[in-house]
Structure 1
Amino acid sequence: MEKSPVTVPAEACVSAGRRALPNQVAQEQAKLLKALADPNRLLLLSLIPPPPQTICVCDLTGALELSQPTVSHHLKVLSDNGFISRQKKGTWVHYSLVEEKLKKTSVQLSKLAESTS
């Protein structure tokens, strides 16, 4: 005789007082973390100064052992996700760090870590 599967509400599997992130929030945070999950992007973030200073893409390309198109790709990913800002100055593009975005991402991770302890 076959037994029918037991259906357990999702809430019953979660420790008391814990809630899952809303799906949309999880998707957004995963996208940001994916943008940071590359050693070359982290290296770029360490080289890019906060405003009012900027750094030219030509200086970033020289600092890394990567081709200019590869550096530009990584910069685009960081820019598209709000971690750096860009300004065109003549034929060159200059970048600066968006510190507030990094701080916000850090706070989100801290909240996630706090909810697991």
Structure 2
Amino acid sequence: MEERIVSMKSDLFKALAHPTRVRILERLVENDKEVCVCELIEDLGVEQSNLSQHLSILRKQQIITSTKVGLKIMYRIKYPEVLTILEKVQKILAQQFQEGEALMRHLADR
């Protein structure tokens, strides 16, 4: 059972491990409402087929959900907690940048 849970965690991180998917999630959180796939294509500048593949991966992991409204397919984030993960990653990157900057200053002062 423990191995299955570890595998599920890994799969979730794999779903987040692509720049396009991160951009999709960041775009979906901007308005805090459903976004049409046509808007995502335009905003992200990716091909429809490529976007569909990324959306499929996010849906498979149940990170996003979709609903059909007329001819449009609308997407939203299912679990807002995923945004906390992205925010934490942003903080880690900022800390890493600061540490690298401090090291560069130290080396420059030698």
Alpha-carbon displacement from aligned partner over 1:16-37 (angstroms, at most 9, x marks no partner) = xxxxx92111111111111000
Q: Secondary structure at 1:99's aligned position in 2?
A: coil
Q: Name 2:11's counterpart in structure 1.
A: 31
Take 2:10 and 2:45, find their aligned partners in 1: how far apart are those partners?
28
Q: Distance in 2 between matches of 1:43 and 1:49?
A: 10
RMSD: 2.6
In the alignment, residue 35 of structure 2 is paired with which amino acid?
Answer: I
Structure exhibiting the larger radius of gyration computed from Cα positions: 1
Distance (Å, rounded) in 2 between the aligned partners of 1:65 and 1:53 = 20
Q: Partners of 1:75 and 1:85 in 2: how far apart?
A: 9
Identity %: 27
Q: Secondary structure at the match of 1:60?
A: helix
The 1:29/1:44 distance shift into structure 2, 3 A limit, reads same
- 2:68 corresponds to 1:72: no
What whole-Å deviation, never above 9, does each CA across 1:52-82 have from its counterpart, x for those lacking one?
7210000000011210011111111111111
How many corresponding residue pairs?
A: 86
C-alpha distance in 2 between matches for 1:87 and 1:51: 17
Query: Contact (CA 8 Å) 1:83, 1:101: kept in 2 or not?
Result: no
State the distance in 1 between where 2:51 and 2:73 align. 12
Q: Distance in 1 between matches of 2:23 and 2:53?
A: 14
2:26 aligned with 1:42, yes or no? no
Q: TM-score, normalised by structure 1?
A: 0.64
Provide the C-alpha distance between the structure 2 equivalents of 1:50 and 1:96, rounded to a whole number of angstroms: 11
CA contact (8 A) 1:51 1:96 kept: no
Q: 2:2 matched to 1:22?
A: yes
Q: Give the drift of 1:100.
A: 4.2
Distance 1:29 1:23 in 2: 10
Structure 1: gaps of 5 or more residues: 1-20, 110-117
Residue 55 to residue 62, structure 1, CA distance change in 2 (3 Å): same
